[in-house]
Amino acid sequence: MQTQTISQSDKEKTKKKIFSIVNKLESLELKSLEHYAEYLAQRNNEAKFLEILRNAKPEDEELGESEVEGLRISKDELKKGKFRELKDYMKERNLL
């Protein structure tokens, strides 16, 4: 995702223009705009997260016995099909 820097005055002009457009929209169009704005915000968050991951240094410490055992158990459960989608788990926990 490309980012570009704009001056504070250009930023304020852009905000005013967007708000003037928003004030002219019908309900259905507003809902569509809301979804698009949420998409843009999510995309921005994902880009920031990916940048953090790219810059993260790998861990260089050994795994403990409990961590190795947890990985083994997880691998066995995955092979048996004992898993669920993250989005389903997040819905169950009201995280979405």
By residue count, the chain amounts to 96
Q: What letter represents residue 60's amino acid?
A: D
Token representation of residue 78:
């995955």
DSSP 6-57: --HHHHHHHHHHHHHHHTT--HHHHHHHHHHHHHHHHHHHHHHHHHHHHHPP
Q: What is the pLDDT along the chain (96 residues), one digit of tens a residue?
A: 455 678 999 999 999 999 999 999 999 999 999 999 999 999 988 999 999 989 998 888 899 999 999 999 999 999 999 888 888 888 888 888
pTM of the model: 0.44
